[in-house]
Amino acid sequence: MAKTPSDVPVEPGMPQLDFTTFPNQMFWLFVTIVAIYFVLSKIALPRIGAVLSDRQDTIEHDLARAEELKQMAEDAEKAYNKALADARIEANNIINDAKLEMKAELGRKIADADLQIADRAKESEQKLNDIKAKAKSSILDVANEIAIDIVVKVSPGPIDEKLIMKSVSQKVTE
């Protein structure tokens, strides 16, 4: 007599732990992992890497420029200190009238040097702020692009790009 399905005892337990379905589960696990790997390695990671590389290059350029400006300021300070020392030695060798004249000239040079240093500091601060703003803007653009690409690939229906861009800009500014 053949066994019917009602005669076969049913074992309680979790179906995913049923050894008869392991090969099928392993196959789909492998397919899913390979698909995720290819999506990440071909789309997401290269874009993120490019953004990080651009950002690192910008930071390195800004730091190098800041170091150059610092060196220029130190050189200007050394020149200022040297001019001050020379002016003091010369002032000791010249009569009182020459002392007054040298002090006035030294005052003008100090004012000019201070103005130049202040102008250069303002310029470099403005350049750094511009670079930061450009970096933030490019990060937002890339984040919008990546988010739209991901939603397009994940969502079966139509998408609202403006809503996605608004959400991304809110998250980036937080």
Number of domains in the chain: 1
Map 101-154 to HEC letters: HHHHHHHHHHHHHHHHHHHHHHHHHHHHHHHHHHHHHHHHHHHHHHHHHHHHHH
**Per the domain annotation, does 20 fall within a domain?**
no
* Threshold 0.85, pTM exceeds: no
**Per the domain annotation, does 24 fall within a domain?**
no
Q: Is the pLDDT reported for residue 105 higher than 80?
A: yes
Q: Is the pLDDT reported for residue 5 higher than 70?
A: no
**Per the domain annotation, does 140 fall within a domain?**
yes
Per-residue model confidence (pLDDT) at position 136: 81
Domain with 115, as residue range(s), is: 44-173
Q: Is the pLDDT reported for residue 19 higher than 60?
A: yes
**Per the domain annotation, does 100 fall within a domain?**
yes
